[in-house]
Amino acid sequence: MTRNPTTPAGRRSRVRLADALGVGAAGLRARRMRSTLSAFGIAISISALVAVLGIADSSKADLLAQLGAEGNLLTVAAGQTFDGSPTPLPATAESMIRQIPPVLMATAVGTVPGATVRRSAAVPALDTGGISVLAAEPSLPSGLGITMLHGHFLDAIGDRYPETVLGFAAARNLGIDVLTPSTQVYLDGMYVAVVGIMAPAAVAPELDTAALVSFPVADTLLHLDGRATRIYVRVDPDNVAAVAAVLPFTASPAQPEAVEVRRPSDILVARIAAKTAFVGLFLALGAIGLLVGGVGIANIMVISVLERRGEIGLRRALGARARHIAVQFFIESALLSTAGGLLGVGLGVLATAIVARVTGTPATMPVEVPVGGFAAAMAVGALAGLYPAIRAARLAPADALRTP
């Protein structure tokens, strides 16, 4: 080591970046408990932000996928009678609709007026549980893309023997979650075997709360007379609007104004909007949490500066510039928020994956969410570290050394 006594200021005070980071990390390790806790403060809010955005995006992606698949579905119904039960469509409606060239598929259901479903005859008749009885065609599940949770749909046997398929909510309301060959419900005065339970149908929520029977069974045992009350229509996706325009007259030439044509995917659009509204609220809460975490870091760092006056004075005596002291405390704060940010992003992604798995939706995570979450943590750490760092740097060396 050479010295240059004639030009004492010829050599500069400087620190390598690796050493600056090492000193910051060592400072945090020396106060492990409080470092961990304040990093956790950041991690919790970042993970909440990431999870909210991830979960919302996953369910939105699921809804959007359904929306794409269901955009060509139309329903035709004939309004309601005065007592609230659906009016039947003309008997010719379904076959007429099938004649429209862009129609790919049509499948009808018919509401059996006044029919109730109960677990057994012992349950009071007024206790309908909101379950309606619908006649359905075998083409219903394939036409609407509904899968079976248990058992199978109504088939040729169901045309002759009284059996029923329950919607998702109907099965739950009746307390049926497994099917055995002897599972029965009390349907309009007789015991009927339950052969299947359907998965939820996002575009046809009315099916969720229904007990389905075949049209022949409905006709012979329940006196439906084969009349459909609602027809589901799949249309060539390019001609949805055109078909919707001609459907009322096709379904009921005598009374086209009584026919309601709907596009169930509109429900999905509304649901996506509802989900986005929630996200805004949670994001605001997460942002407040992040702010609180940042104040926590700032607080810890200010305390640290007060406690470490002696160390600051020593470092100045060893040749640290005021700027080096500022950088040291700034790095400590940045390391805290980096650790918190990484942990938070990890937890948030994990939570999103778990929720997606539990709800059965595909997990999606736009790359902006973890990147943005991490950047937010870094920004908060930088802001929180600024004031303590400046304060530490402003401390006069001799004053700092005078504190015991």
Partner 1 sequence: MSIAVELHDVTKTYPAPNAVTALERATLALRTGETVAITGPSGSGKSTMLNLLGTLERPTSGEVRLAGVRASSLSDGELSGLRAWHIGFVFQQFFLLDHLSVLDNVAHGLLYRGLGARDRRSAAAAALTRVGLAQRLTHRPQELSGGERQRVAIARALVGHPTLLLADEPTGNLDSTTGADIVALLAGLGDDRTTIVVITHDAGVAAAMDRHIHLRDGRIVGDDLKAA
Q: Which residues bind partner 1 (CB under 8 A)?
A: 1, 3, 5-16, 18-19, 22-23, 26-27, 29-30, 310-311, 313-324, 396-398, 401-402, 404
3-state DSSP call for residue 201?
coil
Cβ proximity to partner 1: between 7 and 95 the closer is 7
Q: Which one, 336 or 369, has the nearer CB to partner 1? A: 336
User: For partner 1, which is the closer residue by CB, 30 or 303?
Assistant: 30
DSSP code per residue over 116-127: -EESSTTS-TT-
Decide whether 160 or 323 has the Cβ nearer to partner 1. Answer: 323
Q: What angle do CA 195, 198, 200 make, to 5 degrees?
A: 165
Minimum CB distance to partner 1, residue 306 (Å)? 16
- In 3D space, the residue among 254, 167, 151, 175 whose CA is nearest the CA of residue 204 turns out to be 167
Q: Residue 68 CB, nearest distance to partner 1 (Å)? A: 58
Residue closer to partner 1, measured from CB, 23 or 378: 23
Please report how close the Cβ of residue 336 comes to partner 1 at its closest, in angstroms.
Answer: 16
Q: Are 364 and 57 in contact (CB under 8 A)?
A: yes
In the complex with partner 1, which residue's Cβ is closer, 27 or 289? 27
Cβ neighbors of 208 (< 8 A, separation 6 or more) are 167, 168, 169, 170, 198, 200, 201
Which residues is 184 bridged to in the sheet? 193
Cβ at position 342, least distance to partner 1 in Å: 23
Check residue 80 and report its DSSP letter: B
DSSP state, 377?
H
Least distance from C-beta 2 to partner 1, angstroms?
Answer: 9
At 174 the three-state DSSP class reads helix
Reported as half-sphere exposure (CB side, CA atoms, 13 A), residue 358 has a value of 7
State the minimum distance, in angstroms, from the CB of residue 390 to partner 1.
14
